[in-house]
Amino acid sequence: MKSKTNHMNDPQQLQSSDLLPEFIGNNTEYYSSMFNKIGSTAKVTFTLNTAAAVFGSIFFAARGIWNWALIFVLVETFAFVQIARGAFGDLTTDMTNRLKTISSQLDIRRAQLQAAIDKGSEKVEQAKTNVANLEAIYFDIENAIIAAEASRIWVVLFGVLLLISARIFQCIFANIVLERRFSEWLSKGVGVAVIRPLNIVFGLLFSCIIIVVTVIEFAQPGQVNLLSNFPTTSSFRDEAIVHIESFFEWVTLSGEGFWYSVSWFIRSVLDLMELIFTGIPWMVMIALVVAVTTITSGLRAALWAGAFLIYMGLVGLWLLSMQTLALLGTAAFIAIGLGVPLGVYAARRPRFYNFIRPILDFQQSMPAFVYMIPIITIFGTGKPSAVVTCLIFGMPPSVRLTVLGLQGVPASIREAAIAYGANNWYLLTKVDLPLAAKSIRTGMNQTILLSLLTVVIASLIGAAGLGEDVLEALQYASVGQGILAGLAILFIAMMIDGIVQGKHKNA
């Protein structure tokens, strides 16, 4: 038997090789001819596969091509739904229910009209108008019901045409998919398309369940309670709530000393930050920010930073802006202090990174409002809870981008450093971190900005700063106040982005 490599090097013998039966199973002569025809030109070549046209998605499932099988199952299901709806489905349920409601209202309005006429009331004309409007709506719905019933044949026809079109497409597309799969199999050695009985059984069961259940529910909506409502009882939810609350109560009580230490540390750092930012005279603060921005990003960015700070002072938001900076600085300091070392550790340990990746996904996916519920249970309301909320939401980018940067360091450079006798510490500090610095810096920047996004949300649990102003503006629909505070938050983000990224942003 010739090797796969030899067949790869000889395109003329590729499709007619002895490897084709191993890949396709039966009917090798037909597929050899079709594959040669498709592979002989770079253009899209149309061939016909009768089995795919007859069996549809089951054909692809039988050969283990599950991605296309699923797509075609969904298309065919939609087609069968239209056929069933047009043939015996209920097309007028919503309109019929609305007609009953209008009918009852019409009876009431007619009674009111008759009463007004009997009393000689001045509201007779108004009552007549109400009755006339309801009668017009009633007749419109009746006409719509008649039109819907008359359209059944067109619904059926649409479903039939869709099903035929899907089968024709599968007939034309099947050999193209198999030829591409064969090429991948020759290079990778995985993904044979032999028909397997287990695939046929699973494909049939899956298709039948999907099609039958969907057709029943859409053709006769609400008739089968099991399909309309998930089979559960309120006791499951109630018991889950009790268990979750018991768990967090146990966590809070058993770790009371630890949580108090964490809260004390956060409050200490936050108080120090607030003392620095709010205690320094505004002129000194502006001068320091302008100087730092000049060093990191240049004079132009420094002038913008100075203008942003002056804006905060002019609109009376200086103190709130400094409190926001203190809250943000504390959250970012802790998030980066934990995230970057964790990313460094995980970068060279794939198993550990695979373990913490779902946790990072959870941190970024779960809404911040949900975080606050257990956080308040553990830390109570106030600034520490706000910092922890910002920390949870903002830390993942530092970890992810640190790992990404370190994993992107070329192996040849690391090998050269090791060859010259570099130890692990030298390799980390002089090779890995400098080359990954841009990615790590981006992660730090994203951590700060994501922490800033939670400022308004954190104000709900006692965080001071601009978030309070935005929340108050939202409560009282004060557009001007909300816009001014929102711009201040935006300008803080732009200043931090300029300082952290600096001249390296365009490097």
pLDDT at residue 166 in the model: 93
Which residue range(s) make up the domain with 145?
A: 93-150
134 and 209 part of one domain: no
**CATH code of 267's domain:** 1.10.3720.10
293 and 353 part of one domain: yes
Q: Please return the burial class of 10, using the count of CB atoms within 10 Å of its CB with bins 0-12, 13-18 and 19+.
A: exposed
98 and 85 part of one domain: no
379 and 419 part of one domain: yes
Q: Report the C-alpha dihedral over residues 360, 457, 480, 325, rounded to 10 degrees.
A: -70
275 and 182 part of one domain: no
Which of these three, 114, 130, 150, is where a domain ends?
Answer: 150
Does 242 fall in a domain? no
73 and 97 part of one domain: no
Q: Please return the burial class of 367, using the count of CB atoms within 10 Å of its CB with bins 0-12, 13-18 and 19+.
A: exposed
302 and 411 part of one domain: yes
Does 438 fall in a domain? yes
373 and 345 part of one domain: yes
Query: What's the number of domains the chain is made of?
Result: 3
pLDDT tens column, 378-391: 887 777 888 888 88
Which of these three, 228, 262, 278, is where a domain ends?
Answer: 228
CB-based contact 61:206 (threshold 8 Å): yes
By three-state DSSP, how is residue 2 classified?
Answer: coil
26 and 131 part of one domain: no
Q: Residue 501 — pLDDT band, cuts 50, 70, 90?
A: low
pLDDT at residue 11 in the model: 45
pLDDT at residue 92 in the model: 80
The alpha-carbon radius of gyration of the chain (Å, integer) is: 34
pLDDT tens column, 101-146: 888 888 888 888 888 887 777 777 888 888 888 888 888 888 888 8
Q: Please return the burial class of 172, using the count of CB atoms within 10 Å of its CB with bins 0-12, 13-18 and 19+.
A: middle
387 and 409 part of one domain: yes
pLDDT at 417 over 50: yes
Q: Please return the burial class of 398, using the count of CB atoms within 10 Å of its CB with bins 0-12, 13-18 and 19+.
A: buried
Which of these three, 150, 180, 196, is where a domain ends?
Answer: 150
Measure the CA–CA gap between 460 and 467, rounded to whole angstroms.
Answer: 8
pLDDT tens column, 317-376: 888 888 888 888 788 888 888 889 999 999 888 899 999 999 888 888 887 777 778 888
Highest mean pLDDT out of 97-111, 149-163, 258-272: 149-163
| Residue 476 token pair | 């009282």
310 and 198 part of one domain: no
Query: Which of the pair, 393 or 209, is modelled with greater confidence?
Result: 209
